[in-house]
A and B are shown apart, each in its own frame.
Chain A
């Protein structure tokens, strides 16, 4: 189904490791997905499951200890082959990024305006005056009242929501094709979250922007995403479009996530939880990384011996679980 679309971003078999004193840690192990132009793909998972590392690997912004490997294609360009030097025009120019923590992602010693102007002039030949005008426009577009005044203010003078808007304006300054939003609403309170999500949706509509949304909030996924990838311990365990996922989650981990949600319809004494905790990357269990916590209780002998790969168990629905219906008949993903 996705083949009829124009694919903007392809990530294939992405592996990212970190050299640590405890040895090589696989933060991301064999993650693959593609995002059609103008759509939103959400990466969901718990803290430390490799969502952010995936995003940083795409931009080649890993810390020095990180090594990544795998195909990353943006449009017709294979980003994984580019050097750091060649990546600089891509960062900001073709891919914009918004970070989780708006409190620290702006430089405290410069005004917001100066930082947006800087981002604009990095990628565009234009005068300071033009850049300033463009920056005011951008601030206006992201819903900041009195943009000319806000330009002159320092980050500490703005609230968290405002700063996140400034970050969005900065990310949009050079009209990127792809916007990576790494938990853009996690640090904000609920009413501001709704506003920021609404803003992202509006911008996406207006600019035909492709969005890679990283979140741990399934409500945000339901609101925003076209398709979803669920990650667990560095691997992608389920990938499908958002309606399928919510109607018919197949992986036990995804099912567990849904069960632990609070709904308005029913009353429960206790919320369901997934037993146990996320394994440390240096001590991943043999076999399926989720099997020690799985409520399907290792019904298949392979659970504890061999890691399941992601297979298309239903049209457009990929799942990495031996217990999933139709798994053994499905072709391993090429």
Chain B
């Protein structure tokens, strides 16, 4: 329960941070650059004189929103493809397995960087109100999403292959259900736990991935606050004897990741019937 509370706390902070905190854009003030914690700036200021507390909270917002968007898209997508592959088998299975093994054959970070660079110059719906610049944050979302469905797809596929030959699937066919009905009414509810567990673990993966990408300076403008760019910027501050920025980002990330990991473990214990007696 503690982990759920911590995660909830982060979510509330992430949602309300921009409302409560002073404006971030254009808050650079070189007069107060690189200060230690004080009553005006609880966690000090960075090299541009911006409040580190604000930066950390906006970083949480960034991390959580990426993790949320990525998982909301990737996990159901992986479950759907996995269930279809496992249920129908034959060439459909071959095609889907080929797709994810090919993607999975490239090491994770390199794959994301490659996808990121491939879309660098791409702008969808240019000059329309729905203009999407794939070179910016959307590119990062897309790159992480395109790799995050694979694990779920694998697990769901294997589980579906097991369920497919169960008597209750045959019984469902014997009362006149069609394939789609069996997939949605009988297979999906039986693999739902995998999706939930994968989602909680996927949050951890997506957050660390986002931090890594931003630390490497990929995706988004430099000004956008993120834990990854804070750690990157905090490095130089640290050499000058001011660890505040680095510490804030790392500590904030530490507790969120820890809470999410524990939550994932607890969910798995509660939902996975095979581990119940272990």
Contact = CB atoms under 8 A, between A and B. Distances in A.
Nearest to B175: A92
Interface stretch (B24-32, B183-191, B260-268): B183-191
Interface string B53-83: 0000000000000000000000000000000
A84 to B, nearest CB: 8
B176 A91 contact: yes
A160 B10 CA distance: 48
A292 to B, nearest CB: 33
Interface stretch (A11-19, A99-107, A224-232, A315-323): A99-107
B180 to A, nearest CB: 11
Contact of A106 (B171, B177, B185): B171
The B interface is mostly helix, strand or loop, or mixed, namely helix
Given A64-B89, A104-B166, A107-B186, A97 B171 contact: yes
B93 to A, nearest CB: 11
B276 interface: no
A104 B173 contact: no
Nearest to B168: A107
Interface in A245-276: none
Contacts, number: 66
Which of the four size classes fits the interface of chain A? 20 to 34
Contact of B176 (A104, A106, A122): A122
A151 B172 CA distance: 18
A109 to B, nearest CB: 5
Given A64-B90, A122-B176, A108 B190 contact: yes
* 5 cross-chain pairs, A with B, having the tightest CB-CB distances, nearest first: A92-B175, A92-B176, A105-B167, A97-B174, A91-B176
25 contacts: A59-B174, A61-B174, A63-B165, A64-B89, A64-B90, A91-B174, A91-B175, A92-B174, A92-B176, A97-B171, A99-B170, A99-B171, A104-B166, A104-B168, A105-B167, A105-B168, A107-B168, A108-B168, A118-B185, A119-B175, A119-B176, A122-B175, A122-B176, A122-B177, A173-B175
